[in-house]
Every structure is written in structure tokens, then in C-alpha cells.
Amino acid sequence: MSSFYPSTATSSSSNRWLRANPRLWPGQARARLEHQPIAATGTLTICAAFVFMAFPGIDLAVSRWAAFSTGDFPLSREPALRALRDFNRILPMFILPCVLALLVVQALAPRPWLLRPHKALFFLTFFALGPGLLIQALKRLIGRARPNEITDFGGSLPFTPAWQVSDACARSCSFASGESATAIALVALALLLPAQWRRTAIIALAPLVLAFSLNRIVFGAHFLSDVVLAWCLMLWLMAWLWAVFADNGERIDAAVLRLSRRRTP
């Protein structure tokens, strides 16, 4: 197993100190995310799920903060926040057709400076399987009521912790947050860029992802766990799909090129 540290000539006691030193944890986490993204995001998802299942009061405490003293989530009536939500919902309707159009152009008239086909297919597949299929399946399976629907905030439905299957909700349920999933899915745009631009793109996208996602909490539409676990699940799926498409990128691109040549008279 490769080490996170530049020197491998350290004693076992020194290695134990390095692992136990909290100051080094951020660097270790970043290194693990860069070199083992699937394992890192999977571990993050499991840990986050455990925390919210073991301490469900976190969700209620955060939602109480968002509800202020009125209990009816007054920020949900703010025009600026409603406009932010509308922008989040419209953005994928603009981005997805653009990526699809680039894929079609590459299939019909390949250009070396355009988006490579395997990257476009990765992005479209990720959106279809993640925010499209996985999140909607969880909503139907878990059946969790939204914060503004439970008795703690003036509604009539019971509160249930994350991942606990319930019949409180029949449609458009709380877990997991679809709009938070589409927000974090924007990070996949960074993978379409050259490698040297990706970190900058992720840093630029992070405030937008946070604003779109946390907006759902102050609206009383989602619990904190709905948002955080939607992020974790999407990052894990993103890492897994990217590994598949990147490893087979040359073959996918060649297949699209062959298709283009067959269509050329």
C-alpha cells in the first residue's frame, strides 16, 4: 500500500503518531480523496449516515434554527431565496442539452478541441443515474416527511430519522434532497475540463452548491441529513462512474469516431 508521506523509512511508532495527529488529518483526507476517490467517498457516506442515524436530534435542531421562533420557516417567503431555488431548478435544463449537443456534434463532425465523447457520456449518465434515478428511488422507498410537514413544525406527520423506512410520505418525499443532488452534480462539470483547471473550477462551484443546497433547509423542505447524504451519495456515484468512463475513454471515443465515419458519405 502506498504511503501518504514522502518518506517510507519511518518507524511503526512514528507512523502511529502520524495517523493519530489531528493536524495531519486534513492532508490525509485530501490525499485519500485524490488517490482513492471511490473508497474515500464511500467511507464518507457511511460515516455521515451513521452520525445522522445515531443522533437524529441534529436534524430537528437545525430545522428549528431555520424555523426561527415562528415555526413556519419564514425565509421560504423571501423573493431572493425563491429566485435562487428557481435558478437551481432551471440550470440543469440548460447544461444537459448543451452537453448532449456537444456529444452529437462530436459524433457527426469530430473536432479535437471539442469535449471528448466519453466525458459527455459520463456527465449525461451521471445525471440520469444520480439525481434522476437513485434520488427518486430513495424518495419512494424511504417515504420521509419533510420538515414543514411534521408535528414539530405545525404539520400532521411524524418525524423519522434518515434511512428509516416510513409510510408518512407517499410522493415528493424528503429523503434524499433532489435539488441538493443536482447542485452537487455541478461538480461533475469540473471533470469535463483539463486536469489543471479542475481544482479551480470546484472551488468556484462550491459556494453555488452550498447556496442551492442550504436554501432547501431554510425553506423547511429538507432536513440537514437529506442534503448531506444527497451530497455524499452523488460524490460516491460520481467517483465510481468517472473511474469507469475514464478507464475506457479511448475505446468510447474511438467508437464514436467510427460511428461518425460510417455516417460520412
At 176-215, the pLDDT tens digits run 999 999 999 999 999 999 889 999 999 999 999 999 999 9
Cell of 186: 455541478
**What are the distances in angstroms from CA 100 to CA 59, 117, 136, 200?**
38, 10, 22, 24
Of 17-31, 141-155, 244-258, which has the strongest mean pLDDT? 141-155
Q: 179: closest CA among 199, 209, 150, 202? A: 209
Interacting residues of 130 by C-beta distance below 8 A, sequence separation 6+: 181, 185, 233, 234, 237, 238
pLDDT-derived band at 88 (thresholds 50, 70, 90) equals very high
Burial (CB count within 10 angstroms: exposed 0-12, middle 13-18, buried 19+), residue 99: buried
| pTM metric for this prediction | 0.86
Whether the Cβ atoms of residue 148 and residue 73 lie closer than 8 Å to each other: yes
| CA pair distance 160, 226, nearest whole angstrom | 12
pLDDT-derived band at 12 (thresholds 50, 70, 90) equals low
Q: What is the mean pLDDT of residues 74-98?
A: 95
Q: 66: closest CA among 222, 252, 238, 181? A: 222
First-to-last C-alpha distance (Å) of the chain: 53
Whether the Cβ atoms of residue 161 and residue 53 lie closer than 8 Å to each other: yes
The whole-number pLDDT of residue 258 equals: 77
The whole-number pLDDT of residue 34 equals: 67
Residue type, 257: L
Burial (CB count within 10 angstroms: exposed 0-12, middle 13-18, buried 19+), residue 13: exposed
Block residue for cell numbers 416510513: 166
